[in-house]
Amino acid sequence: MAWFRNLVQLSSLKSSLRSRSATTPFPNTQFVSILQFSSQPNSEPTRHVPSSGLGPTSSKEKPRVVVLGSGWAGCRAMKGLDTNIYDVVCVSPRNHMVFTPLLASTCVGTLEFRSVAEPIARIQPVISRETGSYFFLANCNRVDPDNHVVHCQTLTNGANVPEPWDFEISYDKLIIASGSMPLTFGIHGVEEHAFFLREVHHAQEIRRKLLLNLMLSDVPGMLLITRHLWEFRKQRSRGSYTVLLWGGGPTGVEFSGELSDFITRDVHQRYAHVKNYIHVTLIEANEILSSFDDRLRHYATRQLTKSGVRLVRGIVKDVKVDKIILNNGTEVPYGLLVWSTGVGPSSFVKSMEVPKSPGGRIGIDEWLRVPSAQDIFAIGDCSGFLESTGKPVLPALAQVAERQGKYLAEQLNRIGKAGGGYANRARDMEFGEPFVYKHLGSMASLGRYKALVDLRQGKVEIRTPSKQFFLEL
């Protein structure tokens, strides 16, 4: 199984290869680095992994923590684990963490893609250098809590592998941090025609589409065709709406601001011949930024409108290849549709036979444990407090996931030092204080050097030479 060992080595990031060029994401992939393991076979010892997977740990080995996912929650948990106590194994379809709040900026070139992607081996270095700790580019298909085993399958997109490879990993402690999926509400045509904005390759696809259309307008004769198409849409919908966004949360608002800046500054300068035909429309069923204070929402509405973003209130009923249909029958043409309407449980979470929280997430107790299974924890967007805890389901925010990952790592380190790191050893151990979340506030960029900060703990009046406004502190 030499090819499988090579796959393991490819997935395990080497700390010696950390150049800037090695961390550049590739289009339509989930990779941020290439490891040339075959050209220098003797550069470092080979870490052998059995072709069947990783079996149960013995008393002579460190207990093994398996982390499913490489998002905010999973990476923070891995970073905080004491590697003198535990071996760490990460299973994820991407070998990096994405700084999601800045993804919108990469779509228009304000930031480069490598600025928002951090390789897992930098977050937890033992994965790249120590026997017993690994990263596997794979999906977890099933969890067997009775035998403490996860069943995984490798990704093969673009790889010289004939078919996906199934393997098993035994765990002493399992952290499920597999994240969530964009909500489409079962609306026809969304998955076929809309772009999402949750991964680096999503931002790359959006950027490629924007630049392709702009560069085609420079081709002799293409401008007449482009103008005719946009004028036709203008007559049908009383305005030329090339870029549509549905979802007035922070992602939709920030992307609207970034696009408006891009059109005002870059397009007006470089592609002035089409500047009057490109516009941004943000569609929301209710108010934009509904979690923010009323005054901040009104401020955001004024600023977006002033920057040229058209705000439309409505609900999307159907998505066609070049237009959307609202619930009132209005048809809105588009050249690019970005979908940012929140998240929900993934198919993996739905398939798990465990009690679920309101909303369909994996149900957890106050200590982030899955009560129905020994040694299994769930954190981040995939988890939610059970109704029996009396706690509300926390929002799917990065700060929630990061805080849960930090808390869980501290708890596992504590029980590991007390000898409870191995499977079924912590059954009767006290877990200390339960997890308590304190919201530290919300921020959203509006473009043009303007932003909102909502801290909700008091009121501060801020004056500038030309404006007066309030921030909740």
- Return the half-sphere exposure (C-beta side, CA atoms, 13 A cut-off) of residue 279: 23
Domain ranges of the chain: 2-180+345-417, 190-342
pLDDT for 221: 64
Model confidence at 159, pLDDT cuts 50, 70, 90, reads: low
C-alpha separations of 59 from 5, 52, 64, 276, 285 in Å: 25, 21, 11, 70, 57
pLDDT at 376 over 70: yes
Least confident of 28-32, 79-83, 178-182, 415-419: 28-32
Residue-wise pLDDT for 22-56, tens only, equals: 333 333 444 444 333 333 334 344 555 665 568 99
Q: Which residues, at least 6 apart from 465, have a Cβ–Cβ distance to it below 8 Å? A: none
CA distance 249 to 246: 9
C-alpha separations of 327 from 315, 317, 399 in Å: 6, 5, 35
State residue 402 phi and psi, 5-degree precision: -65, -45
Residue-wise pLDDT for 301-320, tens only, equals: 999 999 999 999 999 999 99
Tokens representing 53? Answer: 């997977």
Average pLDDT over residues 74-86: 98
Give the chain's end-to-end CA distance (angstroms, integer).
Answer: 59
What's 425's DSSP letter?
Answer: S
**3-state SS assignment for residue 173:** strand
pLDDT at 4 over 80: no
Give the position of tokens 């490819």. Answer: 10
Dihedral of CA atoms 122, 125, 128, 131 in degrees, nearest 10, equals -170
pLDDT at 227 over 90: no
Cite the beta strand spans of 256-357 per DSSP E: 280-284, 309-313, 316-319, 323-326, 331-333, 336-339, 343-344
CA distance 271 to 11: 42
Asked if residue 20 lies in contact with residue 48, where contact means CB atoms within 8 angstroms, the answer is no
pLDDT for 152: 96
pLDDT for 217: 78
What percent of the chain stands above pLDDT 70? 80
pLDDT at 203 over 70: yes
CA distance 148 to 438: 33
Asked if residue 254 lies in contact with residue 218, where contact means CB atoms within 8 angstroms, the answer is no
Least confident of 28-37, 241-250, 251-260, 301-310: 28-37
Model confidence at 177, pLDDT cuts 50, 70, 90, reads: very high
Q: Which residues, at least 6 apart from 185, have a Cβ–Cβ distance to it below 8 Å? A: 341
CA distance 378 to 396: 13
Do the domains spanning 2-180+345-417 and 190-342 agree at the CATH topology level?
yes
Average pLDDT over residues 135-139: 96
pLDDT for 36: 31
CA distance 434 to 265: 50
CA distance 62 to 64: 6
State residue 43 phi and psi, 5-degree precision: -70, -25
Residue-wise pLDDT for 261-285, tens only, equals: 999 999 889 988 888 888 899 999 9
pLDDT for 23: 35
pLDDT for 50: 61
pLDDT at 419 over 70: yes
CA distance 56 to 87: 12
pLDDT at 166 over 50: yes
- From 3.50.50.60, 3.40.50.300, 2.40.50.140, 2.60.40.10, which CATH number describes the 190-342 domain? 3.50.50.60
Query: Of all helices (H) and strands (E), which one includes residue 325?
Result: strand 323-326
How high is the mean pLDDT of the chain? 84
Model confidence at 250, pLDDT cuts 50, 70, 90, reads: very high
| CATH architecture of residue range(s) 2-180+345-417 | 3-Layer(bba) Sandwich (3.50)
Q: How many CB atoms lie within 10 A of CB 467?
A: 8
pLDDT at 9 over 50: no
More reliable by pLDDT, 215 or 366: 366
CA distance 16 to 50: 24
Residue-wise pLDDT for 391-416, tens only, equals: 999 999 999 999 999 999 999 999 99
